[in-house]
Amino acid sequence: MSMVDRLANIDRRWIFLMMGLAVAVPIIYIGITGKTLPEQPTPLAQAAFDEIDKLPVGSRILLAWDFDPASEGELGPMASSFVRQCCQKGHRMYFLTLWPVGTQMIQKSASLVIDGFYPDLEYGTDWVDLGFKAGNEAVIKTIATDFGQMFPNDARGTPIESIPMMEGIASISSFDAIINVSAGYPGSKEWVLYAATPYKKPLLVGCTGVQAPQMYPYVPLQVQGLLGAIKGAAEYESVVNAWVRRHTIETILEEADVDAADAETMTTSFLADSGDLTAWLATPAAGGLTAAKRTALSDAVDGDEPGIFLEAQRRMGPQLVAHLLMIGLILAGNAVFFVTRRRGGVR
């Protein structure tokens, strides 16, 4: 039996094995070495970051987590990065979901990012979990004009009148931006049609790879930032990580009475060469910093990024190998097809 015949009749389990290895080997390699591939943000990922960044501190952001565990691997990392940027910037976050198991997705974002890295943020003042509401787009249509009608309580059963950050929230118009992470229906399209477009609110969308082509027509007028699948998440994650690092350093320097312009220059210098930080810490100018602040500054300059904020970039490794395997399989399948056809066989 020739090579072509063997390939033509290959047991599909060999293909399954190849795909299993294509995903497993990079996961193990990245898990051991901690290395990730570099990311160059596309304009859409950068726009998503810029839209949140340009809002003044304390802006009200509605975060609709419309996904479930099936797509958590694809959407979880971008959800974490969205929350991280909002926390670091000091925005107020209002979580809700139109998916029954979206409540667990909200809880996971809250416990991983807010409880894990921003423990000073207070529930009810800085963030609130409004939970799940049945009704798909009807929920959006209702809260577009009367928020309290659909959400009289938060997910913990507390009446919204007793939650300080709910004061002044009457409708969609009360929010400064909407972030939607979506795995299907109801999701991004419904937020575009019934909330963001009629009430002219900035909408940032993170969605699965299957959904992304359907969302491109709404960019940039109805959707200002779009993260498509794990690639979009990895790009956005890299932008947020770099910004958080800079922002942390600049904030600490400003606390040490360094003026904003100098803090920016010094941050660039510290990130380029951590030796500059060591030298500056030895100067009297750094005398006002407490030991804890010095440690935080050193960590921000050359410390490792926490693992949960590298999840998307880590997943680009398996995606690279799996995509190359797919291309290889398509080429091999076509080679077999043409050789067989030339011989007179039909496949």
Partner 1 sequence: MLKRNVPLLITALVGVFLIVANFFPSLSAMSEDFTVFFGIIAAMAFVLGGGSLLKVHLKKISDRNAGWAFSLIVLGTFAITLAVGLLKIGVPPNPTFPDKPWSGSVNADGTAFEWIYEYALKPLSATMFAMLAFYIASAAFRAFRAKNIEAILLLGTAFIILLGRTFAGYYLTSWIPIDGPFSGLRIEELSVYIMQVFNTAGSRAIIIGIALGIASTSLKILMGLDRSYLGGGN
Whose CA is closest to 181, among 74, 265, 101, 284?
Answer: 74
Q: How far is the CB of 330 from partner 1 (least distance, A)?
A: 5
Distances, alpha carbon 347 to alpha carbons 171, 328, 340, 341, in Å? 60, 19, 7, 7
Q: Does 150 sit near partner 1 (CB under 8 A)?
A: yes
- According to CB under 8 A, which one of 21, 24, 279, 324 is a site residue for partner 1? 324
Whose CA is closest to 61, among 172, 206, 187?
Answer: 172
The pair of three-digit structure tokens given for residue 118, joined into one six-digit string = 């921003």
Segment lying near partner 1 (by CB under 8 A), choices 51-59, 205-213, 243-251, 254-262: 205-213
For residue 88, what is the enclosing H or E element? helix 72-89
- According to CB under 8 A, which one of 28, 164, 214, 265 is a site residue for partner 1? 214
Distances, alpha carbon 287 to alpha carbons 173, 248, 269, 326, in Å? 47, 18, 19, 58
Q: Based on DSSP, count helices (H) and strands (E) in the chain, helices before strands.
A: 15, 6
The pair of three-digit structure tokens given for residue 116, joined into one six-digit string = 């894990």
The C-alpha R_g of the chain, in whole angstroms, comes to 24
Per-residue contact string for residues 69-108; x = within reach of partner 1 by CB under 8 A: xxxxx---------------------------x-xx--x-
The distance in angstroms from the start CA to the end CA of the chain is 17
Q: How far is the CB of 315 from partner 1 (least distance, A)?
A: 11
Q: Does 37 sit near partner 1 (CB under 8 A)?
A: yes
Q: Does 219 sit near partner 1 (CB under 8 A)?
A: yes
Closest to partner 1 by CB, 202 vs 318, is: 318
- According to CB under 8 A, which one of 16, 35, 116, 125 is a site residue for partner 1? 16
Distances, alpha carbon 53 to alpha carbons 50, 59, 85, 189, 213, in Å? 5, 10, 8, 24, 26
Count of residues interacting with partner 1 (CB under 8 A): 64
User: Which residues in 242-301 contact partner 1 (CB under 8 A)?
Assistant: none
The DSSP bridge partners found for residue 65 are 181
CA 215, 221, 224: angle at the middle one, nearest 5?
A: 65
Segment lying near partner 1 (by CB under 8 A), choices 82-90, 128-136, 279-287, 292-300: 128-136
- According to CB under 8 A, which one of 47, 110, 207, 212 is a site residue for partner 1? 212
User: Which residues in 224-243 contact partner 1 (CB under 8 A)?
Assistant: 228-229, 231
Q: Does 337 sit near partner 1 (CB under 8 A)?
A: yes
Distances, alpha carbon 73 to alpha carbons 211, 226, 233, 239, 314, in Å? 15, 18, 11, 20, 11
Q: Does 24 sit near partner 1 (CB under 8 A)?
A: no
Q: Does 133 sit near partner 1 (CB under 8 A)?
A: yes
Q: How far is the CB of 87 from partner 1 (least distance, A)?
A: 22
What residues make contact with partner 1 under the rule CB under 8 A? Answer: 10, 12, 15-16, 18-20, 23, 37-38, 40, 42-43, 68-73, 101, 103-104, 107, 133-136, 138-139, 141-142, 145-146, 149-150, 155-158, 209, 212-214, 216-217, 219, 228-229, 231, 316, 319-320, 322-327, 329-330, 332-334, 337
